[in-house]
Copies of this chain bind each other. A is one copy, B any other.
Amino acid sequence: MIQRTRGVQSICFTEAPFIMSSASVVGKKERQGPLGKKYDLYDTENLFGKKTWEEAEGMMQKHACRLALEKLNYAPEKVRYLFGGDLLRQGIATSMGIEGLQIPFFGLFGACSTSGEALALAAMSVAAGYGEHMLAVTSSHFGTAEKEFRFPLSYANQRPLSSHWTVTGSGAFLVGNKRSNVCIPEITVGKIVDYGFKDSQNMGACMAPAAADTIERNLLDLGREADEYDRIITGDLGYVGQSILFDLMRKKGIDIKKNHMDCGMIIYDQNSQDTHSGGSGCGCAAVTLAAYILPKIQKGEWKKVLFVPTGALMSTVSFNEGESVPGIAHGIVLEHC
């Protein structure tokens, strides 16, 4: 058997799987943001023809999956397994959204790191020969997330400056063994990292230690310097989390200031869109990857990127019981090929 493991947490695929297709679906605020024209589909009502936010979020996943398949003229039957998740209790957006596709399904939860988790498992499954095509899909929705984690929208409560704005969006990725311009040569699976932060309105601080841990581990496992990546792209640390990440990396003797980018910081215009620390949610990293990052790698503008979606493992129950908010981050290496 070919040994594919490398270091403590990483896998180097003998035959790197490809991201053969992707699609992004977003809401009104994302459409109005700096990347607005790059998304495949948007709905200014944020409801996608449905009556509840949860159904709408499910609908976004369905649209994203169907669009990713349509770009290759593929039917859902071509997909062997689907890996997906969202932020909601019991992953209902995903189960409502993908049910109609009737693809054998692995349900995931990794908070906002889920797009990394889904891509990792899809790549592992393709590289192992468990099927030719896998779908990875995640979503988040401002309406469902505020209801799940914070306050009813009609309260119109004030948000601290360290808080994030949950992205209304879904990104789907078809990972397969047929050549495209972007492959996944390596992955680094993250551990839970908990510095004891308890402030769920400062998720950047909760997630930055996990991002730092996974980035360092990726470099150690693969014997690589940080500047070998054109970009190291975290999911949704935001402005607060980025400054903590820089501090933590400096202490590790690693400088990523020149090539770091955060999806949560580029998805909205901080000045005009009132989004405080930045965007967040499973959809944040996913739609930014589909609409902005992948096209740059496809064109060869970026040759090698470390994509690190970051998740804050919190719930209202654990928050109310005084528990901390641990973080997790998975590293996906994306290469122009």
Residues of A within 8 A of B (CB): 1-5, 8-9, 11, 15, 52, 54-55, 80-81, 85, 87-92, 95-96, 98-99, 102-111, 117, 120-121, 124-125, 127-131, 147-148, 189-192, 194, 313-318, 321, 323, 326, 328
Interchain CA distance A98-B9 in the complex, whole Å: 16
Query: Are B109 and A5 in contact, with the CB atoms below 8 A?
Result: no
Residue in B98, B102, B108, B148 whose CB lies within 8 Å of A106: B108
Q: List 27 A-B contacts (CB under 8 A).
A: A2-B129, A4-B128, A4-B129, A5-B130, A5-B131, A8-B104, A55-B323, A85-B109, A88-B89, A89-B90, A89-B315, A90-B313, A92-B314, A92-B318, A95-B313, A103-B191, A104-B190, A105-B189, A105-B191, A106-B108, A107-B108, A107-B313, A109-B109, A121-B121, A124-B125, A124-B130, A128-B128
- The 3 A-B pairs at the shortest CB distance, nearest first, are namely A128-B128, A89-B89, A104-B189
State how many angstroms separate the Cβ of A252 from the closest Cβ of chain B.
Answer: 17
Shortest CB-to-CB span from A13 to chain B, Å, is 10
A54 & B321 in contact (Cβ 8 Å cutoff): yes
Give the distance in Å from the alpha carbon of A222 to the alpha carbon of B9 in the complex. Answer: 34
B-side contacts of A147, CB under 8 Å: 317
> In the complex where A125-B124, A318-B96 touch, is A102 in contact with B191 (Cβ < 8 A)?
yes
Number of copies: 2
- Of the listed residues A87, A99, A109, the one surrounded by the most CB atoms of chain B closer than 10 A to its CB is A109
Q: What residues on B are CB-neighbors of A125 within 8 Å?
A: 124
Contact status A3-B89, CB under 8 Å: no
Q: Tell whether, in the assembled complex, residue B129 and residue A3 are in contact, meaning their CB atoms are under 8 Å apart.
A: yes
Q: Are B92 and A313 in contact (CB under 8 A)?
A: yes
Considering the complex, give the chain B residue whose CB is closest to the CB of A118: B106
Q: A2 to chain B: which residues have CB within 8 Å?
A: 129
In contact, A326 and B99 (Cβ under 8 angstroms): yes
Given A52-B321, A106-B189, A128-B130; 13 other pairs, CB 8 A cutoff: A4-B129, A11-B130, A89-B90, A89-B315, A90-B314, A96-B318, A96-B323, A102-B191, A106-B121, A107-B108, A107-B110, A107-B328, A128-B129
Contact A128 to B124, CB < 8 A, known contacts A98-B192, A104-B190: yes
Measured CB to CB, the nearest residue on chain B to A321 is: B52
Kindly state the separation between the CA atoms of A152 and B315 in the bound complex, as whole angstroms.
18
